[in-house]
Amino acid sequence: MRAVMFHEYGEPNVLQVGTADNPIAGPNEVVVELGAIGVNHVELDVRDGSSRFDIDLPHIPGMEGAGTVIEVGSHVTTLEIGQRVAMTYLRTCDACVECMSGNEIFCPTRTLLGWQIQGTYAERIAVPASMCLPIADSLSFQSAAASIVTLGSAWHALTSRAQVKVGETVLIHSIGSGVGTAGLQICKKAGARVIGTVGSDAKIQQALDAGADHVFNHQSHDFVEEVMAYTQGRGVDVVLDMVGGEAFARSMFAMRPSGRLVTVGAHGGEVVELDVISFFRNHVTYMGSHSMSRLELGKVLDLLADGTFVPEIHGVYPLEEASEAHRLLTNRENFGKVLLDPSL
């Protein structure tokens, strides 16, 4: 089968389409023919060698995908050939305390598609049947693949962790990103007002068109001053941050007392200096959020199928243009999700 792989760490051009062995379903596995594949920032780290995982080279990246089951292992009773599915990217033991209590994201033996194990940038993949969630016929592979990481992560962060409520104001850093556009939809459905930051003027109107109430370029505007001015000096109730660095450290000054920040990423700086005095005096809450449970992913897929959420998709590219897809994400030129489609 065709697959995108790299033989050495490096720039986007190390991604090449090559031939990999056709996957075969083990007893508890299925083979999925991929209809759409999501491209994520973490794959840039895996590709350039800065991720904190040891990986075997050559490596097929990719943690996100949706497609059709084309082979079923001998012990699999929950899926059939021809079934349409989306995949969670967490491979877990399904037997430990964390797995049994719905917290499989903390399974001590979990591994991730496209990180420790070969990923989805391919025509087909073999995965445990337990990683596959059936999707409705009304849900396209592109919408499903575009939403696993973005909408799943944003859903877990904003509903389970930060618990955004009607009438609240939310600041979303980097609102044009995949998680940002998904978070915007969740906040608007929850009845919240949304302020967003973008890194280029071209994205301002796109974010407003997507439903944001106020958007500004953080390159030309200090985000704390802008947010405090827009909220008449009150600050926001909630911050969704996937940037890290200064956005993380200074967000507490754009929050009302007892405000809460939920973080899901740190590509703009993994280690920060924090003003601890302001932090405790203002009853600030900073909370981490990672991934989503299968239960939450199932909910998100249902809400996509019934049209409650519509993912923002920047573009769909053939496997041969995976390096171009990585370049787009590196330069943050995308508004919404970048996808690969092996059939193109």
Closer of 106 and 253 to Zn ion (Cβ): 106
Minimum CB separation of residue 126 from Zn ion in Å reads 20
Q: Does 105 bind Zn ion (CB under 5 A)?
A: no
Which residue, 99 or 254, has its beta carbon nearer to Zn ion?
99
Q: Is 93 in the site for Zn ion (CB under 5 A)?
A: yes
Cα–Cα distance list, 35 to 22, 67, 129, 152, 342 (Å): 16, 5, 17, 19, 7
Nearest distance from C-beta of residue 92 to Zn ion, angstroms: 5
Residue 187 interacting with Zn ion (CB under 5 A): no
Alpha helices (H) along 60-217: 97-100, 141-145, 150-155, 178-189, 202-209
Specify which residues 229 forms β-bridges with.
none
The least distance separating Zn ion from the CB of residue 96, rounded to whole angstroms, comes to: 3
Question: Which residue in 296, 311, 14, 324 sits closest to 139, CA to CA?
Answer: 311
Contact 211, 180 (CB under 8 A): no
Q: Among 5, 76, 107, 158, which residue interacts with Zn ion (rule: CB under 5 A)?
A: 107
Q: Which of 5, 69, 89, 92 binds Zn ion (CB under 5 A)?
A: 92
Which amino acid, one-letter code, is at 186? I
Q: Is 96 in the site for Zn ion (CB under 5 A)?
A: yes
The enclosing H or E element of 115 equals: none
Question: Nearest to Zn ion by Cβ — which residue?
Answer: 107
Closer to Zn ion by Cβ: residue 87 or 144? 87
Instruction: Mention every residue, 6+ apart, whose C-beta is less than 8 A from residue 300.
Output: 147, 151, 152, 155, 292, 309
Only one of the segments 87-95, 218-226, 244-252, 320-328 lies at the binding site for Zn ion (rule: CB under 5 A); that segment is 87-95
| Nearest approach, Cβ of residue 235 and Zn ion (Å) | 40
Positive/negative CA dihedral, 118, 119, 124, 129: positive
Stretch near Zn ion under the rule CB under 5 A, chosen from 86-94, 167-175, 200-208, 248-256:
86-94
Q: Of the two residues 116 and 282, which places its CB atom closer to Zn ion in the complex?
A: 116
- Name the site residues for Zn ion (rule: CB under 5 A): 92-93, 96, 99, 107
